[in-house]
């Protein structure tokens, strides 16, 4: 095992066991998920972050690519109390630095109390604390307004399924589970680059505009915001995670950075109409602050009251901050996709009646 060091923004340098070599930097965040490490590590929403697992053993059921949410690992580095050999070898093959044999519970507590922090990591034979500090120094100089969408979006228009409903899915870092959930409901899903123009949407003439999840600040996804502004009222519009934030911004709402975000598979959400509470999977560091005059808050996080669901029935807009398509689970909220596709059927009926 190689030398490994984690330098934190609070001044600490933690010695660890190196499992995959490399040097990197990023925002240190954590997930509380007990399972789903393959899905988390391949989730584009973790782009440019360093992911800490609060559950102590990561890798106890192997690594299988059919569980992946994208074609690569997105966090810049991974941290656990213990990684199995399967996971360590997978991360090593992907050139993703990984460390373990540290007190991740204490590390997670630090993030909860002080918020997400920048960090530097150095792993490899001969790595030193100074190497990790140098990475941290570089991280402090990084801009928070990078065009991160380019790193996670599709390059070309890609089509999945062959159903009756055409969905224009704007790929701001979309999980494949979103595509699969729509295809399973007899939709044709057109996965489009994050900077798709209104004219390109017009040429496609879809039944639904869907803004995906993605990493970082929603203010960096101005093109997607423009699409919502252009087509609201003409097309049903849906959004998940960052997609909810983009929709809110386009309709006059505000977004803000959270202290440490919501990341895990055990986030409770209450529906304000029914009073029902469901457990959800989440991964976001930003949230909707004020929804604006056009959107109603329909669901809230039980723990902190943040907006988890927005809607405008007259404009056929429906969004969720959490991931209804969650893999490996829970699956309490999969009905969201049925509700979204029902908007398209209602919209076609209105057009036909006119």
Task: Write out the catalytic residue numbers.
Answer: 241, 323, 325
Q: Is 242 one of the annotated binding-site residues?
A: yes
Contacts of 261 (CB under 8 A, 6+ apart): 29, 116, 283, 284, 285, 286
- 7: DSSP letter: E
Nearest to 261 by CA among 283, 276, 277, 245: 283
Q: Is 286 one of the annotated binding-site residues?
A: yes
Contacts of 245 (CB under 8 A, 6+ apart): 218, 239, 255, 284, 286, 287, 288, 321
Query: Whole-angstrom Cα distance, residue 160 to residue 182?
Result: 9
Q: Any idea which residue has 């927005």 for tokens?
A: 310
- 3-state secondary structure string, 293-352? CCCEEEEEECCCCCEEEEEECCCCEEEECCECCCCCCCCCCCHHHHHHHHHHHHHHHHHH
Q: Is 245 one of the annotated binding-site residues?
A: yes
Dihedral, 11, 12, 17, 20 alpha carbons, nearest 10: -20
Q: Is 45 one of the annotated binding-site residues?
A: yes
Nearest to 191 by CA among 215, 167, 213, 208: 167
State the Rg of the chain over Cα: 20
In the chain, count H helices and then E strands. Answer: 10, 19
**Helix/strand/coil for 18:** strand
Contact 95/72 with Cβ under 8 angstroms? no
Query: Whole-angstrom Cα distance, residue 257 to residue 218?
Result: 10
Contacts of 182 (CB under 8 A, 6+ apart): 161, 167, 169, 189, 210, 337, 341
Q: Length of the chain in residues, anyone? A: 354
Positions at the binding site: 45, 214, 216, 242, 245, 283, 285-286
Q: Which residues are known binding-site members for L-glutamine?
A: 45, 214, 216, 242, 245, 283, 285-286
């Amino acid at each position: 095992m190689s030398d490994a060091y984690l330098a934190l923004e609070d001044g600490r340098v933690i010695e660890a066991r190196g499992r995959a070599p490399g040097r990197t930097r990023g925002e240190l965040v954590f997930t509380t998920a007990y399972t789903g490490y393959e899905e988390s590590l391949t989730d584009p929403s973790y782009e440019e972050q360093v992911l800490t697992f609060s559950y102590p053993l990561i890798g106890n059921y192997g690594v299988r690519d059919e569980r992946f949410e994208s074609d690569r690992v997105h966090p810049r580095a991974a941290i656990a109390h213990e990684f199995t050999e399967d996971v360590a070898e997978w991360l090593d093959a992907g050139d993703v630095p990984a460390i373990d044999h540290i007190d991740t519970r204490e590390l997670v507590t630090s993030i909860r109390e002080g918020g997400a922090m920048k960090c530097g990591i150095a792993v490899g034979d001969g790595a030193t604390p100074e190497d990790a500090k140098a990475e941290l120094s570089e991280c402090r100089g990084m801009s928070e307004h990078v065009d991160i969408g380019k790193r996670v979006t599709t390059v070309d228009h890609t089509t999945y399924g062959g159903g009756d409903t055409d969905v224009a899915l704007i790929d701001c870092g979309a999980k494949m589970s979103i595509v699969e959930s729509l295809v399973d409901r007899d939709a044709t899903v057109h996965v489009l680059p994050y900077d798709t123009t209104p004219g390109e949407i017009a040429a496609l003439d879809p039944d639904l505009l869907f803004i995906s999840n993605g990493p970082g600040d929603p203010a960096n996804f101005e093109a997607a915001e423009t699409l919502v502004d252009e087509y609201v009222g003409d097309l049903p519009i849906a959004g998940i995670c960052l997609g909810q934030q983009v929709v809110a911004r386009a309709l006059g709402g505000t977004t803000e950075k959270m202290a440490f975000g919501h990341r895990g598979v055990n986030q409770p959400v209450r529906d304000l109409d029914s009073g029902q509470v469901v457990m959800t999977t989440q991964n976001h560091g930003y949230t909707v602050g004020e929804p604006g005059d056009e959107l109603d808050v329909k669901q809230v996080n039980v723990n902190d009251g943040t907006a988890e669901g927005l809607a405008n029935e007259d404009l056929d807009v429906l969004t969720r901050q959490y991931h209804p398509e969650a893999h490996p689970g829970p699956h309490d909220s999969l009905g969201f996709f049925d509700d979204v596709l029902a908007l398209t059927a209602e919209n076609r009926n209105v057009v036909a009646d006119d």
